[in-house]
Amino acid sequence: MPSQRPRAARSTAARQLSTRIERHTAHLSVVGLGYVGLPLAVEFGKAGFKVTGIDTDAERVKQLERGVSYIPDVPTADVKSLVASGLLQATTDFAALKKVDAVNICVPTPLSKQRDPDVSFIVAATEQLARHLHEGMLVILESTTYPGTTEELILPRLQETGLTVGRDFFLAFSPERVDPGNPRFNTRNIPKVVGGVTPTCTEMAVLLYRQRLERVVPVSSPQVAEMVKLLENTFRSVNIGLVNELALMCARLKIDVWEVIDAAATKPFGFMPFFPGPGLGGHCIPIDPFYLSWKARASGFEARFIELAGAVNSQMPDHVVDLVAESLNRDGRAIRGSKILILGVAYKADIDDTRESPSLDIMEELRERGALIEYSDPYVPTLDFFGLKLESVALTPARLRRYDCVVIATAHKGFPWEEILEHGRAIVDTRNALRGHRSEKIVRL
N residues, the chain? 445
Q: What type of residue sits at position 44?
A: F
CB 445 within 8 A of CB 432: yes
C-alpha closest to that of 360 among 281, 289, 307, 264: 281
CA–CA dist 163, 147 (Å, integer): 24
Cα(358)–Cα(228) distance, rounded to whole angstroms? 26
CB 410 within 8 A of CB 347: yes
Strand, helix or coil for residue 343: strand
- Which one, of 100, 103, 113, lies nearest residue 25 by Cα? 100
284 included as an active-site residue: yes
Q: How far apart are CA 291 and CA 141, in angstroms?
A: 16
DSSP letter at 165 equals B
* Active-site residue identified among 106, 250, 284, 405: 284
Whether 408 and 428 have beta carbons less than 8 Å apart is answered as yes
CA 387 to each of CA 339, 373, 375, 383, 384: distance values in angstroms, whole numbers, following the listed order? 20, 14, 16, 10, 6
Q: What ranges in 299-336 are assigned the alpha helix state H?
A: 304-314, 316-329
Q: Known catalytic residues?
A: 284
